Amino acid sequence: MKKRILIIDDETPIQESLSGILEDEGFDTVCASSAEDGIKLIHEENIDLILLDIWLGDNMDGMTALGKIKDSFPHTPVIMISGHGTIETAVQATRKGAFDFIEKPLSYDKIILAINNGLKFSQLEEENRLLKETTIRKANITGKSPLIAALRDQIEMVAPSDAWVLIRGDHGTGKELVAQAIHQSSSSSKKPMIEVNCAAIPEELIESELFGHEKGSFTGAHSSKRGKFDQANGGILFLDEIGDMSLKTQAKILRILQEQKFERVGGNKTISVNVRVLAATNKNLEEEIEKGNFRADLFWRLNVVPINVPLLKDRIEDIPLLADSLLLSLLDKGLKKKRFTDDAYKVMMQHSWPGNVRELRNFIERLAIMCPEETITASQVSVFLGQTVPRGAAADSNDAMAAYRADDFKEAKKLFEKEFLAKKLAENDNNITKTAELVGIERSHLHKKLKTLELI
């Protein structure tokens, strides 16, 4: 795909000659005559590199624009160009994050070299970020129960094959974690696993999200965009919450999964891909098929290898180990080291954990924050468990109280939202669609919000 370069210069002849030369070199270019217009374009389009003039007439100068660009797009390389550059300005620009500094009159060889270096650098930076992210997110399936041992065996067996997997299990059991574990032991582990949360994307955007779109194909499509299928080519596509996809989208997905070919929205070129699909759902798809909400043919296509993630209450012997490892992971968040008494584990093992490991994780976090002592006792666990709202477990009336105590408006608003939504969710038996209707929020928006507030 062509790299897109934004030229910000108030002199039209310079814009024209630069864009002519860059297009001959195989780049896409867009031009702006002022910093304000340029910054607007960066927000609207996918820009890979920016050429920015320092002197831009009477409006915002290039140096100020550089600061603004770096604030919002720290990873996009910016090359400064200037007619009256001094060493001082060059140093100042580099300090502000410019990748390079080139003086006018422009030597086109120098410009092209600087652009290629800038693009290479940002690509390496991105690879590095990705690598770090995958290391940080290394899937660690904690547990020593026979059920978890069997789950690990299944993952090890299926991961190296190219088989498609349907991961099933209740809320918060660890389906996403299983998908990450499969990815890490697969032959595509060096490539990122591309995730699509089918429940979180509004119906009208799902096609463009999955297949990408061409510039101008609909209002708001200011630039062409690669879809998730494209991005996952040669690797893994993880379709999370597959049971929440509309029948219309299911039909489209099925065709693409079968043919491994598709067209971008507004495009007529057929793109062939080779993707391995992992899908996850907490819905009973057989029941959804009966009700006419899910296509049987799609189910059979996805369900090549089914993996069932067990409920936490069916493997309570894992609770001490999980509680310890979750407590340990809080050290990263700056919380102090704590431990549980043996009786504290016993109390936790008697609870039914309808929200599974996610509920346990939120519960442990709450205990770690609210119990000042280094040792967390059985009675503390009982008290806190007594307060637990089933599912949506992170929220309790403490959130509302905390909202009154918070000084920061944003923090207070967040705590109130959490308390309110947890209640409404519990009243609606955790049905997001019903809750969305009741509180008057669009379903996908509510879903995102619940994820952010860690209520699901």
Ligand X SMILES: Nc1ncnc2c1ncn2[C@@H]1O[C@H](COP(=O)(O)OP(=O)(O)OP(=O)(O)O)[C@@H](O)[C@H]1O
The C-alpha atoms of residue 275 and residue 277 are separated, in whole angstroms, by 6
- The first and second tokens of residue 456, run together, are 């699901």
Residue 96: closest CA among 55, 62, 123: 62
Around 271, how many Cα atoms within 13 Å sit in the side-chain half-sphere? 22
Site string for Mg ion, 121-160 (x = CB under 5 A): ----------------------------------------
Counting contacts by CB under 6 A, is residue 435 touching ligand X? no
Closest CB to Mg ion: residue number? 176
Cβ burial, residue 154 (10 Å; 0-12/13-18/19+): middle
Residue closer to ligand X by CB (options 167, 381) is 167
Counting contacts by CB under 6 A, is residue 177 touching ligand X? yes
Counting contacts by CB under 6 A, is residue 168 touching ligand X? no
Counting contacts by CB under 6 A, is residue 169 touching ligand X? yes
Counting contacts by CB under 5 A, is residue 176 touching Mg ion? yes
Counting contacts by CB under 6 A, is residue 357 touching ligand X? yes
Counting contacts by CB under 5 A, is residue 230 touching Mg ion? no
Within 10 angstroms of residue 455's Cβ, the number of other Cβ atoms is: 25
Residue closer to Mg ion by CB (options 176, 318) is 176
Rounded to a whole number of angstroms, the minimum distance from the CB of residue 172 to Mg ion is 8
Residue closer to ligand X by CB (options 231, 325) is 325
List C-alpha distances in Å: 234 to 275, 280, 302.
Answer: 6, 20, 18
Rounded to a whole number of angstroms, the minimum distance from the CB of residue 413 to ligand X is 24
Rounded to a whole number of angstroms, the minimum distance from the CB of residue 344 to ligand X is 19
Three-class SS of residue 65?
helix
Counting contacts by CB under 6 A, is residue 118 touching ligand X? no
Q: Which helix (H) or strand (E) holds 411?
A: helix 409-427
Counting contacts by CB under 5 A, is residue 53 touching Mg ion? no
Residue 172: closest CA among 30, 354, 14: 354
Residue closer to ligand X by CB (options 225, 366) is 366
275 and 261 in contact (C-beta within 8 Å)? no
Counting contacts by CB under 5 A, is residue 244 touching Mg ion? no
Residue 355: closest CA among 172, 163, 104: 172
Applying CB under 6 A, among 213, 225, 361, 443 the residue interacting with ligand X is 361
Residue 442: closest CA among 172, 275, 202: 202
| Footprint of Mg ion on 399-428 (CB under 5 A) | none
Counting contacts by CB under 6 A, is residue 143 touching ligand X? yes
Interaction site with ligand X (CB under 6 A): 140-143, 169, 171-177, 282, 322, 357-358, 361, 456
